């Protein structure tokens, strides 16, 4: 393993739209390079490599994993395939950054994290949102007490999507559904902010799991197309709440609001990739603090930098997106899907 971050080399499984964002992000001067891409479609791999100036192409995943030049693997395939692909990487002792959701359910995730520990290999879900500078700034505002005690987090994520059951997001055989596709951002951000506010020791991740009330619309394809959720977190006598809606039917505000006893914070549309936030106190309509700084590239670069930092330090998890967080958020989504009646038999459900 090289100690020079500028020579850190990534391998990619699954060239596609999300992978293109990752490839562009590696142009940032504080992260490594995308050195190789693997796809079972050679033409697709070669076209992606040409577009993003990637040195090597492979049509076999194992051959990519056998490449000693590769320091870590980024997986950008549909989440239906994550479990087996992550497992293959870990067995080859290759560090992994995998697109969200890490797996279909918490049972799969727990098995992979145990394997990562056995192999002493880094594994992280690519929850890029939490690494964005705006989220770090907002968390600092909360810690400083700028909105008093955090009480409630609310967000929406909705866009009209083509009603074609062959598309990934409506295809049950590909673990389609709005919760795993969009709602994971609502779940992850609310769970992160609330648990951070409940923690008295940020070095320990003892997470509070919420009680959940969910309702939604299940389409003809058998997956959730609109999901609405209420969550209550309780620690002793302290209670905090989160509420969100995600849907494939209509465009919503797509902002995230954090409400406290003395003010509120708005992370602007589209909250999962925003670089804008405003802090308001009481009834004042003019923000007293504003965060608005341009991203270095597109936002993916910050999670890449964190993964590289951890791998170089010999860590097998990131403290910001840890095993506990990933498993907890999958547990929340498992419960939501159970209440909605959405299951995926191929994932052992």
pLDDT in tens, 59-95: 999 999 999 999 999 999 999 999 999 999 999 999 9
Which CATH number is 19's domain given?
3.40.50.720
Reported as a pLDDT band with limits 50, 70 and 90, residue 2 is very low
pTM above 0.85, yes or no: yes
Question: Which residue segment(s) compose the domain that 172 sits in?
Answer: 130-299+330-347
Could you tell me if 17 and 82 lie in one domain? yes
Three-state secondary-structure class, residue 69: coil
Decide if pLDDT at 331 tops 60: yes
Q: Does residue 315 form part of some domain?
A: no
Q: 43 forms bridges with which residues in the sheet?
A: none
Reported as a pLDDT band with limits 50, 70 and 90, residue 5 is very low
Share of the chain above pLDDT 90, in %: 92
Q: 231 forms bridges with which residues in the sheet?
A: 212, 242
CA end-to-end span of the chain: 39
Decide if pLDDT at 341 tops 60: yes
Could you tell me if 16 and 134 lie in one domain? no
pLDDT digits (tens, 9 = 90+) for 192-232: 999 999 976 654 568 999 999 999 999 998 999 999 999 99
DSSP string, 178-239: HIIIIIHHHHHHHHHHHHHHH-S-TTS--PPPPEEEEEEEE-TTSSEEEEEEEEEEEETTEE
Decide if pLDDT at 143 tops 50: yes
Cβ–Cβ under 8 Å, residues 131 and 109: no
pLDDT at 326: 98
Reported as a pLDDT band with limits 50, 70 and 90, residue 163 is confident
C-alpha 3/C-alpha 183 separation (Å) is 37
Decide if pLDDT at 4 tops 60: no
Q: Does residue 338 form part of some domain?
A: yes
Could you tell me if 185 and 152 lie in one domain? yes
Could you tell me if 149 and 242 lie in one domain? yes
Could you tell me if 263 and 212 lie in one domain? yes
Could you tell me if 102 and 138 lie in one domain? no
Among residues 245, 251, 221, which one has the least CA distance to residue 160? 251
Domain count of the chain?
2
Average model confidence (pLDDT) across the chain: 95
């Amino acid at each position: 393993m090289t100690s020079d971050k500028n020579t850190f080399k990534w391998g990619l499984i699954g060239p596609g739209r999300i992978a293109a964002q990752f490839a562009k992000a590696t142009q940032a001067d504080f992260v490594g390079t995308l050195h190789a891409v693997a796809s079972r479609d050679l033409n697709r791999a070669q076209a992606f490599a040409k577009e993003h100036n990637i040195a090597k192409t492979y049509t076999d995943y194992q051959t990519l994993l056998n490449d000693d030049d590769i320091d870590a693997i980024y997986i950008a395939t549909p989440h239906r395939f994550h479990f087996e692909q992550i497992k293959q990487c870990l067995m080859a002792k290759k560090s992994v950054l995998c697109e969200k959701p890490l797996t279909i359910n918490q049972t799969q995730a727990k098995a992979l994290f145990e394997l990562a520990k056995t192999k002493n290999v880094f594994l992280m879900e690519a929850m890029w949102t939490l690494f964005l500078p705006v989220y770090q700034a907002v968390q600092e505002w909360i810690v400083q007490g700028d909105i008093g005690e955090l009480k409630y987090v609310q967000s929406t994520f909705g866009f009209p999507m083509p009603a074609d059951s062959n598309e990934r997001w409506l295809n049950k055989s590909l673990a389609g559904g709005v919760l795993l596709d969009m709602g994971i951002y609502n779940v992850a951000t609310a769970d992160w902010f609330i648990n951070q506010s409940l923690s008295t020791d940020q070095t320990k991740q003892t997470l509070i799991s919420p009680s959940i009330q969910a309702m939604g619309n299940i389409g003809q394809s058998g997956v959730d197309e609109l999901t609405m959720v209420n969550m209550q977190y309780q620690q002793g006598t302290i209670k905090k709440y989160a509420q969100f809606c995600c849907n494939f039917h209509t465009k919503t505000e797509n902002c995230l609001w954090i409400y406290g006893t003395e003010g509120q914070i708005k992370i602007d549309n589209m909250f999962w990739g925003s670089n804008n936030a405003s802090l308001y106190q009481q009834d004042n309509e003019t923000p007293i603090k504003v965060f608005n700084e341009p991203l270095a590239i597109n936002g993916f670069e910050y999670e890449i930098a964190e993964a590289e930092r951890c791998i170089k330090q010999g860590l097998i998890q990131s403290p910001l997106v840890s095993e506990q967080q990933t498993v907890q958020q999958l547990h929340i989504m498992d419960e939501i899907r159970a209440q909605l009646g959405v299951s995926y038999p191929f994932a052992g459900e």
